[in-house]
Amino acid sequence: MMKKIFLIIIGMGICCAYLLLGNRNTMAPKKVVLFIGGDSQVECKEIAIEDCRDEHIDYCKDKRTMLFVNSRNQIIERNIAGEEHVIDIEAINLIETVSNVEYDSLGSDIYFIYDNMIYKYSLNDKILTKKTDGIGSTWRRTYIWKNNEHGYKLIDNGTFSELYSIDMNDNLVQKVCEGWVQSIGQVQGNKIYALEVYSNAKNDASTVDLRNRIIAIDVSEGQIETIQELGRWMDGNHLFTCNEEDIFYIQIKGKKEYLYRVNLNTGLKQKIYSTRNKVVGLAVD
């Protein structure tokens, strides 16, 4: 009798373990924003953000809010606690695609691409103004603002990307450089840190090997410096951000996504987090 009870218990244990492990392996990955906080900036937690149409999510450190576009083409502002509200812009037709939403340098205005133009919307005055003409790229981090008078934007010309400097006061647009830049990070002094795709191909086209690297673009001279090689190009590698001292970026390896930090002063690379979920944004406090 004891032997039968023992076998039943073992059988139940195996069955429960199978169910638990089976569920864990078959669960669909969530869309998450990685929130990096703490004094050492290595404490990381995941914030689920399922209703996000694309993977361009901006974060305002001062307001502690995220900005993104939901599946209904609405611009959403959400705080860390999960409270959301729609930024309702009457002049915007939601049938047209809104993309690449992000805050200005102060968090008081937002910019976005709409109808192939870059627009600015004042959160305080509720005023919508068109800032620049040109083909707005659908790449994430298409443009970035050094301050309210000066910014930079990426243009997709159909073959490669072009980086332009924008003077808001004089409406002056000047080309800085061109290449295969996928996304641009925050401006640090006279440099823009960006993610670039390049090829190791020589003469034989069959040997094409697309790769990723983080570069620093000198905006005054257009010179490019390689900061960090990321290896073989993957579509999910180009989500990254930076602050005054560090660059944070994601690399996909197998079924996991890994968050890395590179110190801009020392060049030290450190893996600080991994997840099986789909990372659609980084929020660095």
User: Domain check: are 257 and 181 in the same one?
Assistant: no
**Would you say residue 250 has pLDDT above 50?**
yes
User: Domain check: are 215 and 268 in the same one?
Assistant: no
Which residue has better confidence, 277 or 231?
277
- pLDDT on residue 263: 85
- Average of per-residue pLDDT across 113-134: 81
User: Domain check: are 140 and 168 in the same one?
Assistant: yes
Give the residue among 180, 120, 174, 128 at the shortest CA–CA distance from 145: 120
Output b/e per residue, 237-253; b: 16+ Cβ within 10 A: bbbbbbbeebbbbbbee
User: Domain check: are 157 and 225 in the same one?
Assistant: yes
- pLDDT on residue 264: 81
- pLDDT on residue 277: 93
Alpha-carbon span 214 to 224, nearest angstrom = 10
- pLDDT on residue 5: 41
Residue 62 lies in a domain: yes
Which residues make Cβ contacts (< 8 Å) with residue 103, sequence separation at least 6?
Answer: 58, 60, 67, 109, 110, 111
What's the token pair of residue 73? 């083409």
**Would you say residue 23 has pLDDT above 80?**
no
Average pLDDT value for the chain: 78
Which region among 91-100, 131-140, 159-168, 214-223 has the lowest average model confidence (pLDDT)?
131-140
User: Domain check: are 285 and 242 in the same one?
Assistant: no
Helices then strands, each counted (H, E), the chain: 1, 23
User: Domain check: are 126 and 51 in the same one?
Assistant: yes
Residue indicated by tokens 């901006």:
58
- pLDDT on residue 75: 94
- pLDDT on residue 219: 84
Residue 15 lies in a domain: no
User: Domain check: are 85 and 117 in the same one?
Assistant: yes
Alpha-carbon span 116 to 128, nearest angstrom = 15
For 49-84, the pLDDT digits (tens) are: 888 887 778 888 889 999 999 989 899 999 988 899
Residues 212, 181: contact at Cβ < 8 Å? no
Residue 220 lies in a domain: yes
Residue 171 lies in a domain: yes
> What's the domain range around 266?
30-42+247-285
User: Domain check: are 79 and 139 in the same one?
Assistant: yes
Alpha-carbon span 242 to 256, nearest angstrom = 22
User: Domain check: are 85 and 201 in the same one?
Assistant: yes
- pLDDT on residue 3: 44
**Would you say residue 10 has pLDDT above 50?**
no
- pLDDT on residue 77: 95
Residue 9 lies in a domain: no
**Would you say residue 252 has pLDDT above 80?**
yes
